[in-house]
Structure formats: C-alpha cells, structure tokens
Amino acid sequence: MINKLKKMGLKITPQRLAILKILDGNTSHPSAEDIYKELKPQFPSLSLATVYNTLEVLAGGGEVQEVRIKSDKKHFDPNPAPHCHFLCRVCDNIYDLDMWPEDLQLPCDIKGNLIQGCNLYLYGICFRCRDKYKNGNNNNNN
C-alpha cells in the first residue's frame, strides 16, 4: 500500500493512505465523490480536490484504472488489468464480468495500428435484477 506511493515517488499522507485503503480490493467501482463521502466523516478537512488529485496520479501511474462506462461520471477500479465492465441499467451498478476476447491481448497490432489500451463496456440487466422481475412485482421489496 505504502509501497505503491513510494514506487511512484509520492509522499505518504493520511489522505492518500485512506483513499488507497478504500480502493484496495474494492470491486464496487466508486466515483471520486463516493470515496470523498465515505472518508469525510473520518477526515473532516478532506477536500474533494485531493480525492481527484490522488485518483489522477494513481491512474497516471497505472495503479488504478478509470472506468467511463457511464456518460456523466468517472469511476475508479484498483485493478489496473484490462477487464470487462458491465453496467446494469436497472440497479445502475457496475460489475466486473469475467470474459475477454481471446484475440485481444495488449499490446497488439491490428491492421498496422498499435493497440496499447482497451475498454470493453457492456450494458444490460444484471442477474440480480432479472431475478427480481422473474419473481414478480407482487412482493415489492426493492
């Protein structure tokens, strides 16, 4: 955790450690504001700009990846490896999906173009929301 910051030549600060701690192993793909709201109680002086700055530098260093599956807001993923993201249009959650086109290993060459990065975004209805509909609307437990 601390190593990630040192590796990038960044100073260790409580704010950065807290942000990294939230991200570590997190598969919920939080936005900058999500992280800010989660930390604000423990860090009353925390600034949203600090969260943005930290996420930007982590992304620039390849330690986290930006997920731009929604049109209005960026989300962040501590797993920097290219993998498939799925947005459920019903519950609005972003999920990892364990599928990746075999013929797309980076970096690669496609018709003379050098492919260095890739995003695969899927949209639909997650199995949880499908199940809810399947069970009918007679029991309205959202």
Partner DNA sequence: AAGGAAAATTATAATGATTATAAAATAACA
Partner DNA sequence: TGTTATTTTATAATCATTATAATTTTCCTT
Is 108 part of any known ligand binding site? no
Rounded CA gap, 63 and 81, in Å? 9
Tell me, residue by residue from 80 to 99, as one string, x for binding to Zn ion by CB under 5 A and - for no binding. Answer: --------x-xx--------
- Size of interface with DNA, in residues (CB under 7 A): 25
Q: Which residues of 62-89 are buried (b: 16+ CB within 10 A; e: fewer)?
A: ebbbebebeeeebbbbbeeeebbbbbbe
Q: Would you call 110 helix, strand, or coil by DSSP?
A: strand
Tell me, residue by residue from 42 to 81, as one string, x for binding to DNA by CB under 7 A and - for no binding. Answer: -x-xxxxxx-xxx-x--------------xxxx-------
Rounded CA gap, 63 and 49, in Å? 19
Tell me, residue by residue from 101 to 130, as one string, x for binding to Zn ion by CB under 5 A and - for no binding. Answer: -------------------------x--x-
Token digits of residue 130 = 């499908």
Rounded CA gap, 110 and 125, in Å? 32
Is 84 part of any known ligand binding site? no
Give whichever of 25 and 136 is closer to Mn ion, judged by the CB atom. 25
Q: Report what 115 binds from Mn ion, Zn ion, a copy of itself, none; CB cut-off 5-8 Å by kind.
A: a copy of itself
Rounded CA gap, 42 and 47, in Å? 12
Q: Report what 81 binds from a copy of itself, DNA, Zn ion, none; CB cut-off 5-8 Å by kind.
A: none
Question: Should residue 63 be labelled a site residue for Mn ion when binding is judged by CB under 5 A?
Answer: no
Residues 88-107 that bind Mn ion (CB under 5 A): 96
